Amino acid sequence: MRDPREELTDHIGSLRAFALSLTRNSATADDLVQETLVKAWTNIDSFQQGTNMRAWLFTILRNTFYSLRRKRKREVEDADGTMSESLATKPDHDGRLNLRDFKVAFDQLPDTQREALVLIGAQGLAYEEAAEVCGVAVGTIKSRVGRARARLAELMELSEEESLEITDSVTQGVVGSRPAA
Partner 1 sequence: MTKHMTRKQLNSRVVEEIDRNLRQAFDDMAEQPVPDRFTDLLAQLKAAEEKKNSGDQQDA
Cα angle: 110, vertex 101, 168; to 5 degrees: 70
Kindly report the length of the chain: 181
Q: Give the separation between CA 79 and CA 2, rounded to whole angstroms.
A: 39
Question: What mask of x and - would describe binding to partner 1 in positions 141 to 170, judged by CB under 8 A?
Answer: -xx--xx-xx-xxx-x-xxx-xx--x-x-x
79 binds partner 1 (CB under 8 A): no
> Rounded to whole angstroms, how far apart are CA atoms 175 and 99?
22
Shortest Å distance, C-beta 12 to partner 1: 5
| CA angle centred on 155, ends 154 and 159, rounded to 5° | 45
Exposure b/e, 97-116, CB count within 10 A at least 16 = b:
eebbebbbbbbebeebbbbb
Q: How far apart are CA 5 and CA 102, in angstroms?
A: 35
**Size of the residue set binding partner 1 (CB under 8 A):** 56
Map residues 36-75 to x or -, x wherever contact with partner 1 holds by CB under 8 A: -xx--xx---------------------------------
Interface residue with partner 1 among 103, 104, 112, 126 (CB under 8 A) is 103
The nearer residue to partner 1, 75 or 161, going by C-beta atoms, is 161
Residue 131 found at the interface with partner 1 (CB under 8 A): no
Query: Is residue 135 involved in binding partner 1 (CB under 8 A)?
Result: no
Cα dihedral angle (83, 89, 94, 96), rounded to 10 degrees?
Answer: 60
Closer by beta carbon to partner 1, 53 or else 76? 53
Residue type present at position 11: H
Our finding on whether 27 is near partner 1 (CB under 8 A) is no
Reported in sequence order, the residue ranges of the chain that DSSP labels E, i.e. its strands, are none
In the complex, which residues of this chain contact partner 1 (CB under 8 A)?
A: 5, 8-9, 12-14, 16-17, 20-21, 30, 33-34, 37-38, 41-42, 83, 87-88, 90, 96-97, 99, 102-103, 106, 117-118, 121-123, 139, 142-143, 146-147, 149-150, 152-154, 156, 158-160, 162-163, 166, 168, 170-172, 174-176
